[in-house]
Amino acid sequence: MFKIRSLVTALALAGSISMASAWETLPTEAPAPADNATTAEKVELGQMLYHDPRLSSTGTVACASCHNTMLGGEDNRPNSMGVHGQTGGRSAPTVWNAAFNKVQFWDGRAASLEDQAAGPVTNPIEMGMKSWDDVVARLKTIEGYQQAFEKAFGKDAISKDSITKAIAAYERTLITPNSPYDKYAGGDKSALTEQQVRGMEKMAELGCTGCHSGPAFNGAGMFQKFPVMANGYFEAQYHFKKDKGLAEVSKNPADENLWKVPTLRNIALTAPYFHNGSVKTLAQAVTLMAKLQLGKDLPKEDVADIAAFLNGLTGEFPKQNMPALPATPGTTTLN
């Protein structure tokens, strides 16, 4: 994971790169790793696990609590709430199209959806289970899960590995194609308004697409320093530098304030913005990115045009039929 400084060197000039000639549409399917092929049985099981608060110590927090598939794939809070009302310091990233991220979490510490799914369950602030052994033991007492795991993975298959694989398999189905932008890039020139086209062209002209590149507008695994430009006025307001980003994991000062480039897909639905959820509106986020990353003061007209284009990145959400979770008649698995 920490072959990152070489990436950062390459990214130093990213702001000057234009992708105007390479607008890409979002794929409708996500690739799966060789050891976790996507099957209907895994997806069905993964959806149950994803929405089941019994994977938390208190029975109150599920994956869906912070990454809500009935919203923009997160919770619209500055900082998500875990067990016992605790909150962390970061805003929940969207789960929609996360399958197209090459690394997961804001600091990129997980190399896959499977790795990411393993983290929150035993995090004391998030879902609070003491160990994965406790998670496995709890699920083994639920007959419905015994049957679902056998269908997906075979007999006696309940384990940390199979749990995270099932959740990841479900998450790989959470794709939002056919946004107005996708239709425009696919040849329908009426799909975006004139204002949205101006915003798209302005993003390329400014260099925004040097980092927010590719079909998911996420740089395909890129890391970037944020903020690049020092600005005491904005730092006093938003405290962007308080969290050291990748350096919190690597413990290397050279990694301070390095972040995975987040997707711009469905960004109109995922306020508040930035890693700490400190910015309430999309227009203000655009203004700050121009100032802190590119050193530019954008006129209000350009901000409005770019925000309009970003609204055109809201895709079509696959219908979610909420699962019936396996019951425990006459008893409870919770202490």
Q: Where are the domains of the chain?
A: 5-26+180-311, 40-171
Give the per-residue pLDDT at 20.
40
Domain 5-26+180-311 matches domain 40-171 at the CATH topology level: yes
β 223-225/258-260 pair status: antiparallel
CATH 1.10.760.10 fits 40-171, yes or no: yes
In CATH terms, the fold of domain 5-26+180-311 is Cytochrome Bc1 Complex; Chain D, domain 2 (1.10.760)
The pLDDT value recorded for residue 4 is 43
User: CA 60, CA 54: separation in Å to the nearest integer?
Assistant: 7
Is the torsion defined by CA of 303, 207, 93, 231 positive or negative? negative
Q: What single DSSP character describes residue 83?
A: G
Instruction: Give the active site residues.
Output: 126
Buried b (16+ CB within 10 A) or exposed e, 131-170: ebeebeebbeebeebbebbeebbeeebbbbbbbbbbbbbb
pLDDT by residue for the chain (335 residues), tens only, comes to 444 443 443 333 333 333 444 689 999 999 999 999 999 999 999 999 999 999 999 999 999 999 999 999 999 999 999 999 999 999 999 999 999 999 999 999 999 999 999 999 999 999 999 999 999 999 999 999 999 999 999 999 999 999 999 999 999 999 999 999 999 999 999 999 999 999 999 999 999 999 999 999 999 789 999 999 999 999 999 999 999 999 999 999 999 999 999 999 999 999 999 999 999 999 999 999 999 999 999 999 999 999 999 999 999 999 999 999 999 999 999 98
- The answer to whether 274 touches 285, Cβ cutoff 8 Å, is yes
Q: Which of 38, 61, 69, 44 is nearest to 144 (CA)?
A: 44
Residue position matching structure tokens 């694989």 = 165
Q: What's the pLDDT at 221?
A: 82
pTM: 0.93
Q: What is the separation of C-alpha 240 from the centre of its chain, rounded to a whole number of angstroms?
A: 19
Sign of CA dihedral 96, 92, 267, 109: negative
pLDDT for the residue 335: 80
For residue 22, the model assigns a pLDDT of 63
